[in-house]
Structure 1
Amino acid sequence: MKKIIVIIAVFTSLLFSSSCESELELNNPNDITVDQYWKTESDAQAGVNSIYAMFYKDGLWARWIYFRLDLTSDEGYSSSPWTELADWTRFNYINYNFWEGQVVTWRDTYKAIFRCNQVLANVPNITFQNEDDKKKILAQAKFFRALHYYYAAVLWENIPLVLTPSTPTDLPEQKNVTEIWAQIEKDLNESFVDLPTSWSGDQTGRPDKSAAKAFLAKVYMQQRKWAEAKGALEYIITGAGAKYNLVANYRDNFTDIRENNSESVFEIQFGDQRKGGTGEDQNAAVSSNRAQFFAPRSIGWSDGQARFWLVNAFKQEKNKDGNLDIRLRYTLYYPQLQADFGDKTYNKTWEWGAEEAWFRKGSRDYYRDNEDYYSQVNYRLIRYADVLLRYAEVLNETGNTAGAYQYVDMVRARVNLNTLAVAHPEIGNDKVKFLERLKMERALELAGESVRWEDLKRWGDLDTQASVDKIKLRDPDFNNFVVGKNHRLPIPQVEDDNNPNLTQHPEY
């Protein structure tokens, strides 16, 4: 059952008429201006709910951001007949204004940030019966401003830092990514103070203290601030936020049957109750399009596929019973799926290449045989397995390789694999070997969950030609990768042209 997030009323961005009048000074009497709004608690609640609605926009988590985070990484690729779309997953950036490649994601990112800034600027002036309710609203706005800046920093790095409601004439200054990280840290630390440890059932889907700490750990780790990341993760694993467990059935993380379960730290709430587009009208969809675009040919568009090296990686190690890792069955579609697992979901009428694979997570094959634009399956942005593997990485980086093993073993035990020490005794207490194995453990557990691109950046695997050459062996798209250039996207050219305070990345 979907909770608060997908039943919110559509809330459009407030007009700028209080600060920017039209030349004819004609106002639509149906428009609500900033001066007229932001008076009541219900205004504040609708304002913060409008931030959640940004998850359903096609530039973000409804559709296109997955092309940047999953398909650009070595886990995925595109063989779309739409050549320009496919080129943007293989580092062939010709038109910096390609809408689906990045411009719509930039637009919707800053639109989401604008909504956060509106709440943060206006809600403090509203009188609440209970001040804690006001604090929670402001904390949610800070959390989401941090979240959207986080992904913008991962994708573009040096970008404008906008902390107040925008007006059409603004020309925001570009900031170094270190300043972006600092603001994200500030927002998350402040949101942590006023977010609750949990929400009541009818508010499921809102971020709590653990979600703030989890994103803090992510931003610390991207900066290689290992000690700070360790503290953030310990809040979730051993501290006051230690309320999570791995679910017994791995696939429960990727269907709509057991959402918001004990493994979920933060997930986007999707629903299929509205069949509109991704605009601002009352019938706007609250769905994910990912399954439609990533499904195998004949049941979806197949604009995004998984690299076949993942199938082979899963088969390198059998479980304690001598069987294949069950995660392979629920992570990927591939030609031998039925032979390997007796999985009758496999449809022989699908068009397969000899070594082709597709992402299965989030598919709805458990009750239907095709996809559409209205998937109701929630997207787990952070789950506990990710937290455990991150903690193992942090312990390894801070000199406690021996202590890191147990957290990898917790993830492996769920799928009946031997302990890491038994399966890979060659690692020993070697920090470098442990990290190399952990890279694989993260791929096997988290493939297709939009973390691989940030992982590659954090590990420095995109920083040298030698490391990129290793990636090429499993993903030929990286033959196009230019070290010192393609680790970040070009800034949309339209933004560079219209804002003298914004400079295109010099490598572009």
Structure 2
Amino acid sequence: MKKLKYIIAVSIVFIATSCDDYLDQDNLGEKDVNSYYKSPTDIEEAMSGVYNALYTVGVHSEEQIAANLMDNMMLGGGGPDDKTAKWVDNFEDPVEDTYHDMWKQSYNGISRANAIIEAVPKTDFSSYFKTAIEAENFKKQALGEALFMRAFYYFRLAKFFGGVPLIMTYDADRYVARSTYSETFAVIASDLKAAIETMPATPFTSLPTSRYGHANKWVAEAYLARVFLLYTGYMTNIEKQATADLPLVGGGSITATQVSAYLDDCINNSGYKLVSDFRNLWPYSYVNKSAGSNVLPWAAAEGLAWVGQDGMTPTFGTGNLETMFVQRFSFGDWNWSDNTGYIYTNRLVLYSSLRGNSLVPFGEGWGWCTVNPKLYAGWSDLDPRKKGSILEVGKAEQGTATYARDKGDHETGYFNKKYTSLQHNDGTGTNKGMFVQMYAWNNAEIQLMHAQDFIYMRFADVLLMHSEITKTAVGLNLVRARAKLDPVGYSLEAIKEERLHELAFEGLHWFDLIRWGDVDTAFDDVIQVRNSGVEANYKVKYRPETKGLVPIPETEMRILNGVYTQNPGW
């Protein structure tokens, strides 16, 4: 059995990558582009360092948590002491450095990617491979993957902060002013275009399982579409500067026609496809196969089976052909230094699970990001994704009949089911976490046991983006058909509804609200909630002057005194 090999390698990361900590520190690394990056092993270790920058100590700096808290379909939640979640949900800055780890880690990833981008073209790897073609493909994949990851981190920064400092070489001056929104997106687009043109066009089904979740040519094509939609929508609907193309560095642009061609390539040649049932993407459908009280009747009756999260040959499941790009998680231990025992477990699962309730198969968490009842009420019961996405408490068929109310704030009776703590009996009468049992981990501490991948990109989104960009209904209706829903004609409203239902709680809807220009009116509802047992009305106070951006960390503002300007509204 594979034992979390994808995360145990982090011990290598801290040795193999330089200490290139963001903009407010000097580069203290012992290894540089001249003394390292000489062998495939060097490159693989360095690439692990690039991916390692996905992990943040500050929970509000996790992209998926930040985006879900700001989304109008999820509330702050938590308990009386979870004030930061409530403040973020209300577009207030809890502390001066709420998102500092996102800023720091993104620039760590960029710096590490820069080193690979500079070193790989100058390095001859031919002596490590049997054929010149193998050596060349390795080189192309390494370069393209580093370009993609640099674009990924700049895109993360741009989504949250807007225009940011552009650090494009490993030893570049790090004390530079912020670039504009358009200049930042030009770098993102140029890197993604180069990554697409560089990485081998190997179908996903032909890649080794060790590449599962990594970036490849098809992931870059999908991300270019996501970048295109956010940029053109933001410029048109937020900045009120009607924009139809995505700029490139040095002039030129990428058009909707070009993006749709990239998506056509991804759809037709990548090997990715929709799994047979939407609900099989989520680990609860594996728990449902357990015996006795662990079985959810509705799921067992419909024969659900989790497809796993290990590519073509999963240890559990039938193969996952839909998931394209993920953040992999593992377990931890409080004895690890620098809080690393905490950051490598999936905290979206921990923080958004049932507060104060340890049930079977749904375990306990902190109760953040409670679900807006408006989403549940407006979602047809004929759509299996409703029950497959939202966990309703107090329901025997959901495994929540014994749920004890009044354990948290902003309690609505609905929780995120895609990313939720899962547990079942270990055969001795003790309930243990699902992943703890699967991977034979010896620490069952509820804060350290959530090894579920977070999915950044899956094939369903590719189909929906293709429909939106081409203004055709083909991809839209393929996604609907998977949910056994009748076809519809293309309209932007149909796209909006489908994206809301297909991609709920996946950290995307907040950015959809922004790019469509719907964010200013998305928070008009008064929501009935219970705050530690007390009935209350809740209304989010979105501030349009922020333009959907979060504040630049105050630490960075002070260090570069006068170089940065703070985002509007903060």
Using the size of structure 1 for normalisation, the TM-score is 0.81
Cα distance in 1 between the residues matched to 2:462 and 2:526: 26
In structure 1, the partner of 2:564 is 502
Q: Distance in 2 between matches of 1:240 and 1:267?
A: 20
Contact 1:2–1:269 (Cα < 8 Å) also in 2: no
Give the match's secondary structure for 1:387.
helix
- 1:460 maps to what in 2? 517
Equivalent residues in 2 for 1:201-212, closer than 5 Å: 201-212=209-220
The answer for unaligned runs of 5 or more in structure 1 is 320-324, 397-402, 422-428, 463-467
Pair 1:294–1:364, CA change in 2 (3 A): closer
1:304 to 359, 369, 379: 369
2:124 to 112, 124, 127: 127
Residue 303 (structure 1) shift: 2.6
Shift of 1:215: 0.2
Following superposition, the deviation at residue 419 of structure 1 comes to 2.7
Q: How does 1:339-354 map to 2 (within 5 A)?
A: 342-344=397-399, 346-349=401-404, 351=406
Partner of 2:170: 165
Question: Which runs of 5 or more structure 2 residues have no equivalent in the other structure?
Answer: 127-134, 233-244, 246-255, 287-305, 312-319, 357-363, 425-430, 434-445, 528-536
Code of the aligned partner of 1:93: D
SS at match of 1:381: strand
Q: Whole-Å Cα distance in 2 between the matches of residues 218 and 103 of structure 1?
A: 24
CA distance in 2, matches of 1:132, 1:392: 32
1:76 aligned partner? 74
**Mapped pair 1:267 → 2:322:** no
Secondary structure of the residue that 1:105 maps to in structure 2? helix
Sort the Cα spacing of 1:125 and 1:102 in 2 relative to 1 into closer, same or farther, 3 A.
same
Aligned-partner SS, 1:230: helix
Report how far residue 301 of structure 1 moved.
1.0
Partner of 1:389: 464
Cα deviation, residue 413, structure 1: 1.9
For 1:317-336, list aligned pairs within 5 A.
317-319=380-382, 325-335=383-393
Which residue pairs with 1:424 in the alignment?
none
Q: Deviations over 1:455-506 (max 9, x none)?
A: 11111113xxxxx235322779775222232411111122122114322124
Instruction: Give 1:109 deviation, angstroms.
Output: 1.4
Work out whether residues 335 and 355 of structure 1, in 8 Å CA contact, stay in contact via their aligned partners in 2: no
CA shift, 1:391, in A, is 1.8
Q: What are the residue-to-residue correspondences of 1:283-298 with 2, within 5 Å?
A: 286-298=344-356
Report if the CA contact (8 A) 1:160-1:502 is conserved.
Answer: no
Q: Is the 8 A contact 1:78 1:86 kept in 2?
A: yes
Once the 2 structures are TM-superposed, how far is the Cα of residue 283 of structure 1 from its aligned partner?
Answer: 7.0
Q: Deviations over 1:118-167 (max 9, x none)?
A: 22233334331223322211111111111111121111111111112257
2:269 aligned residue: 240
CA distance in 2 between partners of 1:283 and 1:108 (Å): 17
Q: Which of 281, 303, 306 pairs up with 1:253? A: 281
Pair 1:48-2:123 in alignment: no
| Closer, same or farther: CA 344–283 of 1 in aligned 2, 3 Å | closer
Compared with structure 1, are the counterparts of its residues 125 and 277 closer, same or farther at alpha carbon in structure 2 (3 Å cutoff)? farther
Secondary structure of the residue that 1:88 maps to in structure 2? helix
The one-letter code sitting in structure 1 at the alignment partner of 2:487 is: T
| 1:33 and 2:31 correspond | yes
RMSD: 3.2
Alignment equivalent of 2:413, drawn from 347, 356, 370:
356
Contact 1:211–1:266 at 8 Å: present in 2 too?
yes
CA distance in 1, matches of 2:122, 2:143: 12
Distance 1:350 1:184, change over 3 A: same
Contact 2:65-2:348 at 8 Å conserved across structures: no
- State the shift of 1:441 in Å: 1.6
Alpha carbons of 1:390 and 1:366: their partners in 2 closer, same or farther (altered >3 Å)? farther
Q: Conserved in 2, the CA contact under 8 Å of 1:277 and 1:285?
A: no
Q: Counterpart amino acid of 1:248?
A: S
Aligned residues: 458
Q: What is the alpha-carbon distance in structure 2 between the residues aligned to residue 451 and residue 269 of structure 1?
A: 18
Please list, as runs of the form range in 1=range in 2, the aligned pairs for 1:105-116 lying within 5 A after superposition.
105-116=102-113
Instruction: Using the TM superposition, give the Cα deviation of residue 344 of structure 1 relative to its aligned residue in structure 2, in angstroms.
Output: 2.5
Q: Distance in 1 between matches of 2:113 and 2:461?
A: 27
Aligned: 1:442 with 2:495: no
CA contact (8 A) 1:140 1:191 kept: yes
Q: CA–CA distance in 2 between the matches of 1:495 and 1:388?
A: 39
Q: Which whole-Å CA distance do the structure 1 matches of 2:339 and 2:65 have between them? A: 26
- State which of 468, 480, 489 in structure 2 corresponds to 1:412: 480
Deviation at 1:16, TM superposition (A): 6.8
Give the secondary-structure state (helix, strand or coil) at the position aligned to 1:248.
coil
- Give SS of 1:76's match: coil
Query: Is the contact between residue 330 and residue 344 of structure 2 (CA under 8 Å) also seen in structure 1?
Result: yes
Seen in structure 2, the aligned counterparts of structure 1 residues 118 and 350 have a Cα distance that, compared at 3 Å, is farther
Alpha-carbon distance in 2 for matches of 1:133, 1:407: 33
3-state secondary structure, aligned to 1:235: helix
Q: What is the letter of the counterpart of residue 494 of structure 2?
A: R
Q: CA deviation at 1:110?
A: 1.3
Return the letter of the residue paired with 2:74. Answer: G
User: What TM-score do the two structures reach when normalised by structure 2?
Assistant: 0.73
Do the aligned partners of residues 457 and 106 (structure 1) sit closer, same or farther apart at CA in structure 2, a change above 3 Å counting?
same
Q: Quote the offset at 1:230 in angstroms.
A: 2.1
Do the aligned partners of residues 347 and 115 (structure 1) sit closer, same or farther apart at CA in structure 2, a change above 3 Å counting?
Answer: farther
Structure 1 residues 159-183: Cα deviation after superposition (integer angstroms, max 9, x where no partner) = 111112257x730221011111111
C-alpha distance in 1, partners of 2:282/2:463? 18
1:487 aligns with 2:548: yes
- The equivalent residue for 2:7 is 6
Determine the C-alpha separation between the residues in 1 that align with 2:485 and 2:20.
57
Q: 1:474 to 1:178 in 2, by over 3 A?
A: farther
Shift of 1:365: 2.7
SS at match of 1:361: coil
Alignment identity in percent? 22
Contact kept, 8 Å, 2:57 with 2:339, in 1: the verdict is: no
Q: Matched residues in 2 for 1:53 and 1:220: separation?
A: 26
**How many Å apart are 1:213 and its aligned residue?**
0.3
Determine the structure 2 residue equivalent to 1:377. 452
- Give the letter for the 2:564 counterpart: L
- Matched residue SS, 2:456: strand
Correspondence for 1:322: none
